[in-house]
Amino acid sequence: MSKPSPFSLRGKVVVQFGGTGLLGRSLVSSLGAAEATLVVASRNRASLDELAKNERAAGRSVQVDEVDIGSEASLHALRDKLLAQHGRIDGIVFNAVSRPMKSFSDDLAAWKSSMETNATGFFATVRAFGDAMAAKKSGSIVNISSQMGAIGVNPWLYEGTSMTAAPDYFFHKGGMNNLTRYLASHYGPQNVRVNVVSPGGIFNPEKPQAPAFLERYGKMTMLGRMANADEIGGAVVFLLSDASTYFTGANLAVDGGYTAK
C-alpha cells in the first residue's frame, strides 16, 4: 500500500476560527478538499449554518460550532467538547478578525473593540487550543495575518477613492506576527508548531474594490494583480500538513511579491 501524501490532511482534526467571510469560506473549501476533519467556529449561527449547507452541496462535510473567542469559558467548552468527540485536536487556523475602525480619527471605542477579537481573543484562542495540543505532544497552529503586518500604509493606493486604511489592522497584524514567534518558542518543546500566513490584498468579487485602487495595487506586485481568495488556502494546508514538520515561527507571505519589492 502506498503512503498517503504528506500534503493530505486526511485524519487530522482541524478547527478554523472565522470561516464565514470571503477568505474564511475559501479556506474552509481548501481544508475540506485536503480531507481534514474540519470544525468551523464563530459567533454567528446563521452564517455557520449557511456555510455548512453550501459545503454539503459541494460534497464536503464540515462541523460548525458557535463560540465567543472573547470568553475563555466559551473557548474551553468548545475545546473540551471537541476532545470528547474526536480524542484530539491536530491543528487550528485563526482567521477571526474584527475591523471596526474606518479611519485614523475614529473614536477610541472602535480601537478598544478591535482589541477584543484581534488581540485578547487571538491570544485566548491560541492558548486554549495550543495547550491541548501540547498535552498530546503534537499539533500545528496557523495564524492568518496580512502583508500589512510587515509594511506601512501607502496613501497613493487610496487616492481618489472612498477606501481607507485604518491603523488598528496594521497594529494587530504586526502583533500577530511577533506573537507567533513567541508561541513557536513556547510550544516548540511540546512538538507544536506555530506559523503565520500573510496574504496580500484579495480581490472581492462580491464588493469589487475601486478600479483606480486595483490598477495601482497591481503595479505594486510582481504578478500585476490582487490575489483571488482561493489562492491562499494552499499555504495553510501545507503548514497544517506533515509536509511542513520542520516549519515553525515562520511567516509565509502569499502576496504576489508585494513585500519582496
- pLDDT for residue 1: 55
The torsion of the CA quartet 7, 10, 15, 17, rounded to 10 degrees, works out to: 50
Provide φ and ψ at 251, rounded to 5°.
-115, 105
- pLDDT for residue 65: 96
Position 5 in a domain: no
Per-residue pLDDT of the chain (261 residues; tens, 9 = 90+): 567 789 999 999 999 999 999 999 999 999 999 999 999 999 999 999 999 999 989 888 899 999 999 999 999 999 999 999 999 999 999 999 999 999 999 999 999 999 999 999 999 999 999 999 999 999 999 999 999 999 999 999 999 999 999 999 999 999 999 999 999 999 999 999 999 999 999 999 999 999 999 999 999 999 999 999 999 999 999 999 999 999 999 999 999 999 997
- How many Cα neighbours within 13 Å face the side chain of 20? 17
- What CATH number does the domain containing 88 carry? 3.40.50.720
> Domain tally for the chain?
1
CA distance 57 to 223: 33
Position 134 in a domain: yes
Position 126 in a domain: yes
Closest CA to 198 of 248, 144, 240, 126: 144
Position 3 in a domain: no
Position 128 in a domain: yes
* Residues spanned by the domain of 239: 13-260
Residues contacting 84, CB < 8 A, separation 6+:
none
Position 132 in a domain: yes
- Cell, residue 174: 504586526
Closest CA to 254 of 226, 213, 224, 220: 226
| Residue ranges of E strands in the chain | 13-17, 37-42, 63-66, 91-94, 139-144, 192-199, 251-254
pTM of the predicted model as reported, rounded to 2 decimal places: 0.96
CA distance 70 to 252: 27
Position 102 in a domain: yes
Position 6 in a domain: no
